A = this chain, B = another copy of it.
Amino acid sequence: MDKKKTSKGKKIPKATIIRLPVYLHYLTELAQKGISVVPSHDLAELAGGNGPQLRKDLSYLGEFGTRGVGYNVGRLAHHISKFMGLNKEQSVAIIGVGKLGMALINYKGFAEKGFKICAGFDNNSQMIGKKVDDLVIYDVRDLGKIIKEKDIEICIITVPASEAQSIADKLISCGIKAILNFAPIFLKVPDDVVACQIDLSIELQILSFYRTLLK
């Protein structure tokens, strides 16, 4: 999944895909501060990059900004949102309400970015039917029914590794096309499903490696 084609057939590098939400984050912050125009150099610096890289990244979306004037903050934010499919609220469910699942339910950052957590699921009878703030924890056996009822589009898997693949298979059979997986196994999914993995130990191992390169 290193390069993906846009609908216009242009290949977009993964590094660009990763930077686009970062630009969006800072554009939103600028807009909140009442700033309506930002020079490309300033936006690039906020995002930890440089002007030429920013201009190259944005070239995948079309042409923006006027040389010497900068980008219209609201317009660019809108275009990035639309390009990434972020211009409408998306419904999310969390499968596995252990400590990590609970932390994610309580994480305010998702709602700020337009991801509404609509349901939690667990197989522990002590959890089922409980509420976390306004969120109901459902029986994992009711996945299909609730996904349909609540029009859930994205699922986050926070179950133990041993259960993750069978949960993923079940989600896919319920029509889910996008899975964020925190369990430390690589999910096997068909070509018409996207699964991204966050393995917290692997992140530490990568960090550890970069540290050895400093020495």
Give A154 Cβ to nearest chain B Cβ, in Å.
Answer: 7
Copies in the complex: 2
Is B21 a contact of A205 with CB atoms below 8 Å?
yes
Does A134 belong to the interface (CB within 8 Å)?
Answer: no
Chain A, residues 190-215, CB within 8 Å of chain B (1/0): the string is 00111010111111111111111110
Answer whether residue A2 sits at the interface, using C-beta atoms and an 8 A cutoff.
yes
CB within 8 Å of B: which A48-84 residues = 48, 83-84
The contact of A196 among B102, B107, B206, by CB within 8 Å, is B206
Do A24 and B205 have beta carbons less than 8 Å apart? yes
Chain B residue with the shortest CB-CB distance to A46? B186
Residue among B106, B112, B204, B212 making CB contact with A180, cutoff 8 Å: B204
Whole-angstrom distance between the Cβ of A165 and the nearest chain B Cβ:
12
A109 beta carbon closer than 8 Å to chain B? yes
**How far is B155's CA from A20's CA once the two chains are assembled, in angstroms?**
27
B208 near A154 with CB under 8 A, answer yes
A177 & B211 in contact (Cβ 8 Å cutoff):
yes
In the complex, whether A33 has a CB less than 8 A from a CB of chain B is no
Instruction: Provide the residues of chain B in CB contact with A146, threshold 8 Å.
Output: none
- Contact surface of A with B, Cβ cutoff 8 Å: 1-2, 4-7, 15, 17-18, 20-22, 24-25, 46-48, 83-86, 90, 92, 99-100, 102-104, 106-107, 109-110, 112-113, 115, 153-154, 177-180, 184, 186, 188, 192-194, 196, 198-214
| 28 A–B contacts, CB within 8 A, in A order | A4-B210, A17-B210, A18-B206, A20-B209, A21-B202, A22-B202, A24-B205, A25-B202, A84-B205, A84-B212, A85-B209, A85-B212, A103-B103, A104-B200, A109-B184, A109-B200, A109-B201, A110-B200, A112-B201, A115-B204, A154-B204, A178-B207, A180-B203, A192-B214, A194-B207, A196-B203, A198-B200, A198-B203
